Amino acid sequence: MACRNIYPNPMSPSLERRVRHHLWSMLPLPAHQTKDVPLLTYPITPFRTVQLVQKAPLDSVSTGTTLYLSSQLLAHYLQETTPKGVTAIELGSGTGLVSIALGILGWEVWATDLELVIDDVLRVNIERNREEAKIVVQELDWCSDTWEWVYPQNEEWRSDGIPEFDLIVCADGVYSMDLILPLLRTLKKLSGARSPLVLLAFERRDSGVIDCFFKESKAFGFVSKKVNIRRILGRQIARWGWTSDDWHSVEIWTMRLKVGDTREGYA
Ligand X SMILES: C[S@@+](CC[C@H](N)C(=O)[O-])C[C@H]1O[C@@H](n2cnc3c(N)ncnc32)[C@H](O)[C@@H]1O
Q: Which residues bind ligand X (CB under 6 A)?
A: 62-64, 67-68, 70-71, 92-95, 113-114, 117, 140-143, 171-173, 175, 179, 182
Q: How far is the CB of 14 from ligand X (least distance, A)?
A: 30
Q: How far is the CB of 256 from ligand X (least distance, A)?
A: 21
Query: Closest residue to ligand X, Cβ-based?
Result: 64
Q: How far is the CB of 260 from ligand X (least distance, A)?
A: 28
User: What is the distance between the alpha carbons of residues 253 and 214, in angstroms, rounded to a whole number?
Assistant: 10
Q: How far is the CB of 250 from ligand X (least distance, A)?
A: 10
Burial grade of 43 (CB within 10 A; 0-12, 13-18, 19 or more): middle
Phi and psi at residue 37, in whole multiples of 5°?
A: -95, 115
Q: How far is the CB of 70 from ligand X (least distance, A)?
A: 4
At a CB cut-off of 8 Å and minimum separation 6, what does 219 contact?
A: 263, 265, 266
List of long-range contacts for 241-246, beta carbons under 8 Å, 24+ apart: 241/27, 242/30, 246/30, 246/32, 246/69
Cα atoms in the Cβ-side hemisphere of radius 13 Å centred on 93: 37
Q: Considering the complex, state which of residue 139 and residue 261 has its C-beta at the smaller distance from ligand X.
A: 139
Please answer whether residues 181 and 266 qualify as being in contact, where contact means their C-beta atoms are separated by less than 8 angstroms: yes
Q: Considering the complex, state which of residue 30 and residue 173 has its C-beta at the smaller distance from ligand X.
A: 173
Q: Considering the complex, state which of residue 141 and residue 251 has its C-beta at the smaller distance from ligand X.
A: 141
Q: How far is the CB of 183 from ligand X (least distance, A)?
A: 8
User: What is the distance between the alpha carbons of residues 219 and 211, in angstroms, rounded to a whole number?
Assistant: 13
Q: Considering the complex, state which of residue 92 and residue 152 has its C-beta at the smaller distance from ligand X.
A: 92
DSSP 47: T
57-91 burial: b if 16+ Cβ within 10 Å, else e:
eeebebebbbbbbbbbbbbbbbbeeebeeebbbbb
